[in-house]
Amino acid sequence: MKAYKNIIVEKEWPAATITLNRPEANNQIDMPMMEDWIDALRELDAQDDVRAIIIKPYRRINPFILQIIMVVSIIIAFITSYYANLYPLP
C-alpha cells in the first residue's frame, strides 16, 4: 500500500479503512487530500480481496464534509452495485 500525506489507509480483510488525516484543518478536504483519496480508492478497487471501504475522520470533522463523504459513499455503493450486476461473481 502506498503512503499518503493527507490520509491513512489500513487494510484488514475484507474491508479497508481510509482515515482523513488533517486534524489541524478540521479534516477539510482540499485538492491534495482529494487526489490522495481518489488514488487510494482506485488502488483499493483494483484489489479483489477488498469488499468494503470505510471512510472516517481522524478526530473531529466539519458537518459539511461529513455530508460530502456520505454522498460520495452512496455514489460508490451505487456504482459498485451496478457493476456487480453486470459482472456477477462465479
pLDDT of 1 > 80? The answer is no
Q: Phi/psi of residue 42, each to 5°?
A: -65, -40
Query: Quick one: CA dihedral 13, 9, 56, 59, positive or negative?
Result: positive
* Closest residue by Cα to residue 60 from 17, 19, 11: 19
29 close to 38: Cβ distance less than 8 angstroms: no
pLDDT tens for 41-80 read: 888 888 888 888 888 877 666 677 777 777 887 787 777 7
Specify the residue for cell string 486534524: 23
Task: Report pLDDT for 9.
Answer: 92
- What domains are there in the chain, each with its CATH number? 7-86 (3.30.300.220)
A 10 A CB-CB count for 6 gives 19
Q: Phi/psi of residue 64, each to 5°?
A: -65, -40
**Overall pTM > 0.85:** no
Task: Report pLDDT for 90.
Answer: 63
Task: Report pLDDT for 76.
Answer: 79
pLDDT tens for 17-32 read: 888 888 777 677 788 8
Question: What stretches of the chain adopt beta strand conformation (E)?
Answer: 7-12, 15-20, 52-57
